[in-house]
């Protein structure tokens, strides 16, 4: 990435909205924005397969594993405004389990890209399903969208909930219901 070109673009945006790019508070802003965007969009440089495969362990466990309330921050691809929420992930092992910290890391891979929530949900489920190869995967994302709160319809604190079910979670209502029961307390917060 050409740092100067990026920072010049930020200066142009600041000038376009009527700011003085030479005032004290804004002199270093283009570099700060570049560094922030590099971090907030670092998911493009990460591979969920590598993350998962570094921590796969053989296991006889065949019961549901749930990691809930994984906080995430993303940006909508339409306005580049924040999406803030929680992800709930479950899987049923089929001979292997993954280190628990790897699940939030997989969430971050996809959250740290420009996104729409529906796609974020699908990407997390598909990555876990493909690389962990469990009997099933369930992902629910509950998030606030600043493009709805800060502009447009201005509906403060409204949330959007999306889900993606794979394998046994999609085929067996009992399994899906167990997952939803486990995570239901998260929606009461």
In a domain, 20, yes or no: yes
My answer on whether 122 and 166 are in the same domain is yes
110 & 175 share domain:
yes
Beta-strand ranges (E) seen in 4-132 are 56-58, 65-76, 82-92, 96-98, 114-115
Q: What is the pLDDT of residues 42-88, one digit of tens each?
A: 999 999 999 999 999 999 999 999 999 999 999 999 999 999 999 99
The answer as to whether 21 is a domain residue is yes
- Residues marked active site are found at 76-79, 117, 145, 147
101 or 157, which is more confident: 101
State the average pLDDT for the chain: 96
Name residue, tokens 């549901």. Answer: 64
Q: What pLDDT, in 10s, does the model give residues 143-184?
A: 999 999 999 888 898 999 999 999 999 999 999 999 999 999
Asked whether residue 82 is assigned to any structural domain, the reply reads yes
Question: At a CB cut-off of 8 Å and minimum separation 6, what does 39 contact?
Answer: 112
Residue 50 falls inside a structural domain: no
| pLDDT score recorded for residue 186 | 65
pTM for this prediction:
0.94
Average pLDDT over residues 138-143: 98
Question: Do 27 and 97 sit in the same domain of this protein?
Answer: no
CATH number at residue 74: 3.30.1130.10
Which ranges in 67-145 belong to alpha helices (H)?
102-111, 117-132
59 and 129 co-located in one domain:
yes
């Amino acid at each position: 990435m050409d740092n100067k070109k990026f920072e010049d673009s930020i200066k142009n945006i600041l000038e376009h909205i009527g700011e003085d790019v030479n005032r004290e508070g804004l002199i270093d802003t283009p570099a700060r924005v570049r560094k922030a965007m590099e971090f907030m969009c670092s998911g493009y440089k990460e591979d969920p397969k590598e993350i998962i495969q570094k921590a796969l362990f053989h296991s006889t466990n065949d019961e549901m594993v749930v990691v809930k309330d994984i906080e995430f921050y993303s940006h909508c691809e339409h306005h580049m405004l924040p999406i803030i929420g929680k992800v709930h992930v479950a899987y049923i092992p089929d001979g292997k389990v993954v280190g628990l910290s790897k699940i939030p890391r997989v969430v971050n891979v996809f959250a740290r890209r420009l996104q729409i929530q529906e796609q974020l949900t699908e990407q997390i489920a598909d990555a876990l399903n493909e690389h962990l190869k469990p009997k099933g995967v369930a992902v629910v994302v509950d998030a606030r969208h600043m493009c709805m709160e800060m502009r447009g319809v201005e509906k403060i604190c409204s949330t959007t909930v999306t889900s993606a079910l794979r394998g046994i979670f999609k085929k067996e209502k009992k399994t899906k219901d167990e997952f939803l029961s486990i995570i239901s307390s998260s929606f009461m917060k």
